[in-house]
Amino acid sequence: MPGITGDNTMNQRIAESIRTQLLRLNSEFAHYIPSERQLPVISLHTFADPEYFPVGVKHRYTRKD
């Protein structure tokens, strides 16, 4: 949203929420992914960040660096 910025605390809370739901919904994730690798890496960007959301092109919602 415009004017909202993320911080490490917010990123951590989102990652933990995603992991909790994956563990609840996906038994393969729960049993085959080592626990130290289950927490996703979350990176929030500012609204309409031109590097990640350029105008006039299909948006890239995920990026593997």
19: CB partners within 8 A, 6+ apart: 38, 39, 40
Q: Where are the domains of the chain?
A: 1-65
pTM for the structure as a whole: 0.70
Q: What are the tokens at 31?
A: 């049993």
Residue 65 has pLDDT above 70, yes or no: no
Provide the pLDDT for residue 21. Answer: 97
Q: What is the pLDDT of residues 2-61, one digit of tens each?
A: 777 778 888 999 999 999 999 999 999 999 999 999 999 988 888 888 887 777 777 666
Ramachandran category for residue 13: left, alpha or beta (phi over 0 → left; psi -120 to 50 → alpha): alpha
- Please report, for residues 4, 45, 48, 52, the alpha-carbon distance to residue 60 in angstroms, rounded to integers and kept in the order given: 20, 12, 12, 7
